[in-house]
Amino acid sequence: MSNNISLPIIIEVDEDGCFIVNCPSIRGCRSYGNTIDEAMANIKEAIESCLDEQSNLLDNINKYVGVREISIENKSGFQYV
């Protein structure tokens, strides 16, 4: 029997090409990296640190539902690429 837990990770890239990673199940648990692999290693470390600091955190992890897109009128001419 595995003692692992699986948590969702959201990956974004900023204007400088840095990968920003977020674990939405743990409030405030974010990290980054120059590559996706580096960012994933860093968020794993951040999650473990959060769990170490807050031993009861597993009892209070938010259940992740999913990601959706919403369409809005582009009044400002913003270019999303």
**pLDDT tens-place string over residues 5-22:** 888 999 999 999 999 999
Alpha carbon distances (Å) from 44 to 2, 49, 56, 57: 17, 9, 18, 15
Radius of gyration of the chain (CA): 16
Partners of 33 in beta bridges: 19
Could you give the CA distance from residue 19 to residue 38 in angstroms, rounded to a whole number? 9
> What pLDDT, in 10s, does the model give residues 34-78?
999 999 999 999 999 988 877 666 666 777 788 888 888 888 877
pTM: 0.74
Q: Looking at the predicted structure, is the pLDDT value of residue 29 above 80? A: yes
- Asked if residue 21 lies in contact with residue 31, where contact means CB atoms within 8 angstroms, the answer is yes
Query: What is the H or E stretch that residue 30 is in?
Result: strand 30-33
User: For the chain, what's the residue count?
Assistant: 81
Please state the domain extents for the chain: 10-60
Please indicate whether residue 1 or residue 17 has the higher confidence score (pLDDT).
Answer: 17
23 confidence band (pLDDT: 50, 70, 90): very high
